[in-house]
Amino acid sequence: MKSKQLKFLVGSIAILVALVYFGYQGFNESMSYFQTVPELYGSGSQAFDRRIKVQGEVVKGSIRREGGATVFAIGPTDFKPPEGFVPGPDTKTLQIRYVGSDALPDTFRDYASAIVTGKLKKDGTFEGTFIQAQCASKYDRENAAGVTAANQ
């Protein structure tokens, strides 16, 4: 084999190895586990080590702005807060701090089913970087409760 062919072969292999490595790294970075709020709490300390998509129902009255972040709480879809409920760390709700650069979805409001992508912090809050709200056809619970967008 001539030296030019050997250089070409070594260069091609190096490029191929680099592409495979960067592809693998990108795949790992974009991968996230999908969990509900109770599953997230059940996963214990493993929840701190990985990127997670967590789904839950936005707790009524919990949405507020804090500087550039939106803070709210989500809970399991069967969680029914009592009147005057204030979400806290002792409940089965999860405090979310959304710091993503995208605007909040139009369908994001009380009782909406939200999916937030981010990481659980050591203080128990979930820092979200991406949020989705389920489509309007998912608001049967809201209609059953007598709550509409007009009277929120």
Please report the pLDDT score of residue 141 as a whole number. 56
In a domain, 20, yes or no: yes
The mean per-residue pLDDT over the stretch 126-143 comes to 71
What CA–CA distance (Å, rounded) separates 149 from 152?
Answer: 5
Range of the domain at 27: 1-31
Exposure string over 107-136, b if 16+ CB within 10 A, otherwise e: bbbbbbbbbbbbebeeeebbbbeebbbbee
DSSP three-state, residue 131 = strand
Do 25 and 51 reside in the same domain of the chain?
no
Are 86 and 22 in a shared domain? no
Q: Which two tokens stand for residue 79?
A: 């969680």
pLDDT at 103: 87
User: Is 3 in the same domain as 64?
Assistant: no
Quick check: 54 and 94 in contact, CB under 8 A?
yes
Confidence band (pLDDT; 50, 70, 90) for 101?
confident
What is the per-residue pLDDT across 107-119, written as a single tens digit (0 to 9) for each? 888 888 899 999 8
**Residue 91 resides in a domain:** yes
Average pLDDT over residues 9-13: 93
- The total of structural domains in the chain comes to 2
Higher-scoring residue by pLDDT: 30, 151: 30
Q: What is the pLDDT of residues 48-80, one digit of tens each?
A: 878 888 988 888 888 999 988 999 999 886 655
Say yes or no: 68 and 41 in one domain.
yes
Question: What's the pLDDT at 136?
Answer: 46
Q: What is the pairing mode between strands 52-58 and 33-36? A: parallel
Q: Select the more confidently predicted residue: 130 or 139.
A: 130
Residue 124 included in any domain: yes
User: Model pTM?
Assistant: 0.65
Is 81 a residue whose pLDDT tops 70?
Answer: no
How does pLDDT run across 13-43, given as a tens digit for each residue?
Answer: 999 999 999 988 877 666 667 788 888 877 7
